[in-house]
Structure 1
Amino acid sequence: MSTTAPTATAARTRLRSVLRQDALACAGFGLLMTAGFALVDSLLGLGPAWAVPFGVYLLGCAAVLALVAGHPDLVRGQVVAVVVNNALAAIALAVLPFTGLVDLTVAGYIVLLGGAALVALFTVLEAAGVKHL
């Protein structure tokens, strides 16, 4: 019992930290996509019709992640929903550059594929944390 409680507490603390980092990443990229859509368009080739809705989605994700991470008790179902959302987002980010729906620059390909990798990393870390809830 003495080894289980600290281990579970440490695992929840790590999960909460990962959720907060995910929220910060979403907030930062969401702000860039919404407030800096002209820059995003010129540098990445992701026009406002894509950048702004994507940015709003990311800002919503940031808010939800902050709420989930800040709840006094992490709720398993909520964290599972975060993992599912992230998995779908990672797939979408990895596929979108190759659909022909957007005319990305080389930097656009790098940013979207790098974003897919980052979201996949958050997915794996958060999924590992679910085991301790």
Structure 2
Amino acid sequence: MTPTAAAPDTRLRSLLRFDAAACAAFGVLMTAGAVLVERLLGLEPAWAVPLGVYLLGCAVALALVAGYPVPLRGHVIGVVANNAAAAVALAALPFTGLVDLTALGYAVLLGGAALVALFAVLEAQGAKRLTA
């Protein structure tokens, strides 16, 4: 396969779509499965539901950015900034004393922070390849 000018856009678009799908999946879990989330993770519905709504909003925004005919650098930089802030918040929350997480809850939030940080790094690399 010969690399083309569209290849970076295609990779970035796929990454944005995967990020959107992950946000949608966890958003649905946090909102519709709030009782289960509380039981397994220790994250009360008062935290899980707003987090889920935020993730669903992120999923829509990511899908819109990924759907542009040509991804715009400014939009992708906004995605990167949001992901960076979310990664910091997810990594910090377990240690604030505001939530009483189970061991699995710590693992899920810290794992989620790592995943979101990875998305931020990869999407930032994609943004650097964009011309507009």
1-side partners of 2:122 and 2:77: how far apart?
Answer: 12
Kindly report which structure 2 residues correspond to 1:78-93, keeping only aligned pairs within 5 A, or say none. Answer: 78-93=75-90
Quick one: which amino acid aligns to residue 80 of structure 2? V
Instruction: Tell me whether 1:46 sits opposite 2:26 in the alignment.
Output: no
Quick one: which amino acid aligns to residue 131 of structure 1? K
What is the TM-score when the length of structure 1 is the normalising length?
A: 0.95
Secondary structure at 2:121 match in 1: helix
How far residue 59 of structure 1 moved from its aligned partner, in angstroms, is: 0.1
Quick one: which amino acid aligns to residue 105 of structure 1? T
Instruction: Tell me whether 1:73 sits opposite 2:40 in the alignment.
Output: no
1-side partners of 2:121 and 2:75: how far apart?
Answer: 15
Query: Structure 2 stretches of 5 or more lacking a match?
Result: none
Q: Deviations over 1:49-106 (max 9, x none)?
A: 0000000000000000000001111011100000000000000000000000000000
Quick one: which amino acid aligns to residue 89 of structure 2? A
Query: Over aligned residue pairs, what C-alpha RMSD do you find?
Result: 1.1
Match of 1:30 among 27, 32, 50: 27
Secondary structure at 2:100 match in 1: coil
Total equivalences in the alignment? 129
Kindly report which structure 2 residues correspond to 1:16-27, keeping only aligned pairs within 5 A, or say none. Answer: 16-27=13-24
What is the TM-score when the length of structure 2 is the normalising length?
A: 0.95
Task: Name the counterpart of 2:53.
Answer: 56
- Aligned partners of 2:9 and 2:70 also within 8 Å: no
Query: Structure 1 stretches of 5 or more lacking a match?
Result: none
Instruction: Tell me whether 1:9 sits opposite 2:14 in the alignment.
Output: no
Task: Name the counterpart of 1:108.
Answer: 105
* Percent identity of equivalent pairs: 72
Quick one: which amino acid aligns to residue 46 of structure 1? L
Runs of 4+ in structure 1 off by over 6 angstroms are none
- Aligned partners of 2:30 and 2:49 also within 8 Å: yes
